[in-house]
Amino acid sequence: MDIKSIGIVGAGQMGNGIAHVSALAGYDVTLTDVNADALKAATDVISKNMDRQVSREKISQQDRDDAMGRIKTTLTLTDLGPSDLIIEAATEREDIKHAIFAELLPSLKPETILTSNTSSISITRLASRTDRPERFMGFHFMNPVPIMQLVELIRGIATNEDTYKACRAVVDKLDKTSATAEDFPAFIVNRILMPMINEAVYTLYEGVGTVTSIDTSMKLGANHPMGPLELADFIGLDTCLAIMNVLHDGLADTKYRPCPLLTKYVEAGWLGRKTQRGFYDYRGDAPVPTR
């Protein structure tokens, strides 16, 4: 099918990034969230980020104005019903995702494609609770969406070829690169990345190195642009823990056991940048390690 309109569920960091790139690519975008303040914040972030692109001559002022004009926001989930493609980018909890799709289904066109930006949850299981498992896929963007070039496309067991081709065409139009992943826990990127971050937390937990020495070692010793603990704070420690739990539960291998220190930080509400504290404290002029 020819996709012209995209509905996005969730106006957080991922949702506003997906709305940003979709509108710039020429799609009509409807962005929804349960929180009016989140919708206002999302449009402010998108506007600011597009202004930055204009100042760096990445896009023209006309491109920016046209893209912002394509973005509508709503507090009513079912307003997404007329969309050709829906990308769910809500919190990484399976029960919430099931509830979102259940509420959406009665308002959808028969041909609408449903997708989830989940970073780890089974696409087959999400699809099985809908009326269109053959038109359901994983559509996993990387963060920050406007900068990162990869999109993982994950087929559920029932996903048909037309759905896959339609989603791949959207990725191409967004000027990004798709990588096809099988529907196994955490797919490709997080299957590799999260155990590395978890191992970095174990390295801290066991006293092998400090926050600073671990991040410096990986930046200068492995040429990573960001240390693993700094990256965990950027992603969100609650998200890291959720993905490790999906890996541990789904693959039943002890090598995916979440580090107790990661669990402790999440229990404390120290989730990284979004709460101003994680492996670093961001409340001052410069980040300071918390251990």
**Which residues fall in the annotated binding site for NAD(+)?**
10-15, 33, 92, 97, 119, 143, 274
Q: What radius of gyration do the chain's Cα atoms show? A: 19
Binding positions are 10-15, 33, 92, 97, 119, 143, 274
Respond yes or no: is residue 190 known to be catalytic: yes
d(CA 133, CA 69): 33
Residue of 5, 117, 190, 198 marked active site: 190
Dihedral of the alpha carbons of 81, 82, 86, 92, in degrees to the nearest 10: -20
Residue of 16, 117, 122, 140 marked active site: 140
Beta strands in the chain (DSSP E): 5-9, 28-32, 71-74, 85-88, 113-116, 136-141, 150-155, 177-181, 280-281, 288-289
d(CA 271, CA 209): 21
d(CA 55, CA 51): 6
Calculate ∠ Cα 94-98-102, nearest 5°.
170
Respond yes or no: is residue 16 known to be catalytic: no
Q: How many CB atoms lie within 10 A of CB 172?
A: 13
Residue of 5, 20, 88, 152 marked active site: 152
Residue of 119, 120, 122, 178 marked active site: 119
Respond yes or no: is residue 140 known to be catalytic: yes
Work out the widest C-alpha separation in the chain, in whole angstroms: 56
Respond yes or no: is residue 152 known to be catalytic: yes
- Assign 3-state DSSP to the chain and report helix, strand, coil percentages, each to 5: 50, 15, 35
Q: Could you tell me whether strands 71-74 and 28-32 are parallel, antiparallel, or unpaired per DSSP bridges?
A: parallel
Active-site positions? Answer: 119, 140, 152, 190
